[in-house]
Amino acid sequence: MPSQELQPSDYRMRKLIGTLGLSLPIILPIVKWEFLSSISHYYYATLSSLLFIIILSAFGLFLISYKGYVKDTETEQVSDDFLTNIGGFAALIVVFIPTICYGSASVTIDNLCVSENYPLFGHNNTTLSTIHLVSAGMFILCMGWISKYKFTRGKKALHNKIYKHCGNVVFISVALLITGLVLEKFDINFIINEYYVYIFETIAVFAFGTSWLVKGEAIENFTDFKNRMLN
């Protein structure tokens, strides 16, 4: 692919997306002070709900705004812009169509579900929950695809290995997550019990968050900062 110049804002956007990815699974349980069965269930906790909406909305808007490289018509079938738009809109759907209230592994949220005092767009509708789940899957898979097949067009061999490994981790995490959901449908206990969705979501989000940070040259920025401090 021919070399293309990126604006400083592109690198900042990458670092922002990466930072959001790494912070999301950490901030929510700290604020709630409780692990839930999935990241999406933090929508139903008071303060973590606000952070969930803000972070996921920022994710969506940043991805839609991000253009990346112009598509090389000779070697590429799908552009960066198309993939980030799909991922961005999927992230926004995750916000506006939250997961089902029940199944959070939290007594507090279970009581809220029984009272049907849902926050904002909260619900107990299985159809809406399926839309949410599919959208979340599309969002994560787009991030994995970008990491493995788009970011690896650069000339830095070490960075390309990181992107490929991050993409593979995303795909494996999604595959294990789907396996767990299928086993659950057949009432077969999964190895990691009620928290397997949160665990695999977190692994996937950490992976693509790392990939975006590296692509945003966060390593180079840190190295430059360290050198300036030492000199």
Q: Is the pLDDT of residue 4 over 50?
A: no
Q: pLDDT above 90 covers what percent of the chain?
A: 42
- Which residue in 153, 150, 143 sits closest to 20, CA to CA? 143
189 dihedral zone (left: phi>0; alpha: psi -120 to 50; beta)? beta
Report the C-alpha dihedral over residues 48, 133, 151, 199, rounded to 10 degrees: 60
Question: Residue 196 is encoded by which pair of tokens?
Answer: 């397997």
Q: Residue 134 has what pLDDT?
A: 94
pLDDT, mean of residues 54-68:
87
In the chain, where the domains are located: 8-230
pLDDT digits (tens, 9 = 90+) for 185-209: 777 765 667 888 999 999 999 998 8
- Most distant pair of Cα atoms in the chain: their distance: 62
Left (φ > 0), alpha (ψ -120 to 50) or beta: where does 13 sit? alpha
Q: Cα separation of 141 and 87, whole Å? A: 8
Task: Identify the pLDDT of residue 212.
Answer: 83
Of 139, 145, 135, nearest to 169 by C-alpha is 145
**Span 118-167, pLDDT tens digits:** 888 889 999 999 999 999 999 999 999 989 988 888 778 888 999 999 99
User: What local confidence, expressed as pLDDT, does residue 225 receive?
Assistant: 44
**Residue 90 scores a pLDDT above 90:** yes
User: Containing H/E element for 159?
Assistant: helix 157-185
Report the pLDDT value the prediction gives residue 138, as an integer from 0 to 100: 94
Which residues make Cβ contacts (< 8 Å) with residue 106, sequence separation at least 6?
A: 34, 36, 41, 45
Are 29 and 36 within 8 A, CB to CB? yes
pLDDT at 231: 62
pLDDT of 1: 47
